[in-house]
Amino acid sequence: MTESHPFFAAGSPSAQIAMAHRGFSPDGLENSMAAFRAAVELGYRYLETDVHTTSDGVLLVFHDPSLDRVTDGEGRISRLPAATVAKARIGGVEPIPLFEELVSAFPGVRLNLDVKDWSSVPSLAAAIEQYGVHDRVLVASFSDRRRRAVVRRLSRPVAGSAGIVSNALFTVLGPVLPVRILRRALRGVHALQVPVTYGAIRVVTPGFVRRAHRHGLQVHVWTINDPAEMHRLLDLGVDGIVTDRADLLKQVLKDRGQWDQGDRPD
């Protein structure tokens, strides 16, 4: 359905995409530079992360809309200036990274970026343009409109994944919808990033994977931390797995002869 994109070319053509969810930190320091560094040192070339923007327009790598859950600070990021957010510490020890820090620290790594709010649409687009990372990022969002809004601001294409509405359309109506309608709904989409189940609906089935591949779409499944489930999904033919347990996924892929991430990306 879509053309290939350089984002997917970090490993060999036959390699599965192993994606470290918010980096790798068994100690709970998610989305910190320490967590990203730990994943990269394991050999990961793909990092999944999230972006939010401060009240004065600084793009941060962080999942939650507020500081409260994982830091010693409090308040909604969109209502706080960058100077205030800079004082917060993830787990009481790690600062919240700026987007520019992450991009600059690991130039050989691909970033799967979940756009969490509308204020991050212009700031993320501007950052992608400023650092010229069009080939290194995949723009994701639960909101298809938000993802498309980022893409419209860019001078070159980036990889993209479907939002909730597009994923639901493909999952429930994909077998019966005319191809032209699916093509229109999934314009600019290269991957379906989905959970195994959504409520009572089993999303990732053999038929779902076959149908996605028939339309030229990759299937990435989140967030899988059990080795037996990793094996089962890989046997189904999924193209990528997003995990909190980067160590376990690496071992699963090595056992299957499918680990091709390199020891230390540039």
Instruction: Tell me if residue 220 is catalytic.
Output: no
Identity of residue 132: G
Contact in structure between 35 and 23 (CB atoms under 8 Å): yes
- Active-site choice (21, 134, 190, 220): 21
Alpha helices in 155-221 (DSSP H): 164-168, 179-185, 206-214
Contact in structure between 204 and 238 (CB atoms under 8 Å): yes
CA 176 to chain centre: 29
- Active-site choice (5, 63, 215, 231): 63
Instruction: Tell me if residue 21 is catalytic.
Output: yes
Structure tokens at 110: 């691909």
* Long-range contacts at 35-40 (CB < 8 A, ≥ 24 apart): 35/94, 36/97, 36/102, 36/105, 36/106, 37/105, 38/246, 39/246, 40/106, 40/109, 40/264, 40/265
Task: Report the sign of the C-alpha dihedral through residues 77, 87, 27, 57, in that order.
Answer: positive
What residues are annotated to the active site?
A: 21, 63
